[in-house]
Amino acid sequence: MTSRTRWGILATGGIAGTFVDDLALLPDAEIVAVGSRTLEAAQRFAGRYEIPRAHGSWADLAADPEVDVVYVATPHSAHHAASRLCLEAGKAVLCEKPFTLDLATSQDLITLAGDRGLFLMEAMWMRTIPAIRRIAELVADGSIGEVTAVYADFGIGGEFDASHRLRDPALGGGALLDLGVYPVTFAHLFLGPPQRIAALASLTPEGVDDNTGVIFGYDSGAIATLHCGIVGRSPTAATIVGDAGRIELPSPFFRPDRFTLYRDRQAEVVHVPIRGNGMGYEAEEVMRCLVDGKLESPLAPWSATLDVMRSLDAVRAQIGVDYENTGRISR
């Protein structure tokens, strides 16, 4: 690697643009190439963001000798194939969440990265947001005592017709993988993997979930109550309850710039500034790990990615969402 980390961007959708905007704020980052399924799309993106090279295929981007790490920003259903291609080409990878569609394919990528000695990280940027890291420190230090409950929700509203990616099972559609991954990850941050899972959902005619409720149970007695949906805008807030206090996060809880700590009937608002859109922190973490020669990030370790995917698989099994039988409800 050079003194600056050289990034390649795989895919040209909205999330890729947001990531590039934040990456441009980092002095140690250099965006050197973008790849798409068509050269025209790659060239348009490259022109918009002043990226030197545009590749008309994922394989060409993965083979680019000037790229140190690839950010994979495809639809969910292509995360596994795109990330595997880059790893096989010897590239470090930051892959958007959800990491893949299921536990088996997530494990496949992690096994491959380990075998090849390559860095790999799920782009769960919430784990790297400064306020979230500060909250994790407070909880770990016992500031609210033992955690007894976690509440988190993420719901959006809009006109999503049958062709929209959120309703398309071929693209890994549904509320759970697109939005629910945030509440599930949030619960994991403070309670770890659950021992019991109960879930209910309503499904679209295409066979993906549009309104899902989940309860996680833990041997400690703690409970996590989680919700995600595409049928109406929810508070998108979160609370961590302990036996000696609680912490409340405003909307959007996954990239807060403040939170409220309640202890001894006292409320303290803690402000933690956030830079840009908030996605630059995960990029900083990737670059720090690459410089240090790490294969995985302690903020977003492989074990956590697998824990969350295992929980998502269990929820999907209960609510009857089966991506292997696209367009058919399995229940």
Catalytically active residues, by annotation? 97
Structure token pair of residue 70: 């690839």
**3-class DSSP string for 29-96:** EEEEEEECCCHHHHHHHHHHHCCCEEECCHHHHHHCCCCCEEEECCCHHHHHHHHHHHHHCCCEEEEE
Query: Which amino acid, 66?
Result: E
Q: Copy the structure tokens of residue 23.
A: 């990456």
Tell the burial category of 268 from Cβ atoms under 10 Å away from its Cβ (0-12, 13-18, 19+): exposed
DSSP character for 295?
S
270 DSSP β-pair partners: 259
Strand partners for 54: 34
Cβ–Cβ < 8 Å for 169, 206? yes
- DSSP strand E in 86-168: where? 92-96, 120-123, 147-155
Give Cα separations from 258 to 13, 212, 235, 252, 285 (angstroms): 29, 27, 16, 10, 21
**Residue 181 CB neighbour total at 10 angstroms:** 25
Upper half-sphere CA count for residue 67 (Cβ side, 13 Å): 32
Can you read off the two tokens belonging to residue 236?
Answer: 């998108």
